[in-house]
Chain A
Amino acid sequence: MTKYIIRRVLQAIPLLFIISIISFLLMSLAPGDPTAMYENPEAGNEQDLSAIREQLGVDDPIYVQYYKWLKLLVLEGNMGYSFQDGQPVLEKILQRVPATLLLMATAIVISIIIAIPIGVFSAVKKYSIFDYFFTFTSFLGIAVPSFFIALIAILVFSLKLSWFPVSGLRENYDAFDLWDRIHHLALPSLTLAFGLIASKSRYMRSSMLEVIKQDYVRTARAKGLSEGKVIFKHALRNALIPIITILALQLPALFGGSLFIEQLFAWPGMGRLTVNAIFIRDYQVIMGTTMIAGVMVVFSNLIADICYAIVDPRIQVGKN
Chain B
Amino acid sequence: MSTTMTKTDTLVSVENLKTYFYTEDGIVPAIDGVSFEVKKGETLAIVGESGSGKSVTSLSIMRLIPQPPGKILDGDIKFQGESLLAKSDKEMRAIRGNRISMIFQEPMTSLNPVYKVGDQISETIILHQKKNKKEALAEAINLLNLVGIPEPERRINQYPHELSGGMRQRVMIAIALACHPELLIADEPTTALDVTIQNQILQLMKNLKQKSNMSIMLITHDLGVVAEMADRVVVMYSGQIVEQGDVFTIFENPKHPYTEGLLKSMPSAEKRVGKLYAIDGVVPNPLNLPPGCRFADRCEYATSLCHQEMPQIQEINENEVVRCWKYTDRWEA
Binding partners A and B: yes
A214 CB-CB contact with B under 8 Å: yes
- Tally the A-B contacts, defined by beta carbons under 8 Å: 67
CA A215 – CA B115 in complex, angstroms?
14
Given that A224-B127, A311-B114 are contacting pairs, would A215 and B97 also be in contact in the complex, using a CB cutoff of 8 Å? no
Q: How far is the CB of A219 from chain B (nearest CB, A)?
A: 5
A181 CB-CB contact with B under 8 Å: no
Contact-residue bracket for chain B: 20 to 34
Given that A224-B97, A226-B93 are contacting pairs, would A218 and B64 also be in contact in the complex, using a CB cutoff of 8 Å? yes
A216 touches B112 (CB 8 A): yes
Hey, which chain B residues are within 8 Å of A241, CB to CB?
114
Given that A224-B127, A313-B161 are contacting pairs, would A219 and B113 also be in contact in the complex, using a CB cutoff of 8 Å? no
Hey, which chain B residues are within 8 Å of A225, CB to CB?
93, 97, 123, 127
CA A224 – CA B101 in complex, angstroms?
9
A238 touches B113 (CB 8 A): yes
A313 touches B110 (CB 8 A): no
A7 CB-CB contact with B under 8 Å: no
User: Which A residues from 206 to 226 make CB contacts under 8 A with B?
Assistant: 214-216, 218-226
CA A221 – CA B102 in complex, angstroms?
10
B161 touches A224 (CB 8 A): no
CA A222 – CA B97 in complex, angstroms?
6
A314 CB-CB contact with B under 8 Å: yes
Hey, which chain B residues are within 8 Å of A221, CB to CB?
64, 96
B114 touches A313 (CB 8 A): yes
A312 CB-CB contact with B under 8 Å: yes
A314 touches B113 (CB 8 A): yes
C-beta contact mask, B53-92 vs A, less than 8 Å → 1, else 0?
Answer: 0000000001010000000000000000000000000000
Cβ-neighbour of A222 out of B94, B96, B115 (below 8 A): B96
Hey, which chain B residues are within 8 Å of A215, CB to CB?
104, 106, 109-110
Hey, which chain B residues are within 8 Å of A205, CB to CB?
none
CA A216 – CA B106 in complex, angstroms?
10
B residues in contact (CB < 8 Å) with A:
62, 64, 93-98, 101-102, 104, 106, 109-115, 123-124, 127-128, 159, 161, 172, 175
A residues in contact (CB < 8 Å) with B:
214-216, 218-226, 234, 237-238, 241, 311-314
The 10 closest A-B pairs by CB, nearest first: A224-B96, A224-B97, A223-B97, A215-B109, A216-B112, A313-B159, A224-B93, A215-B110, A222-B102, A314-B161
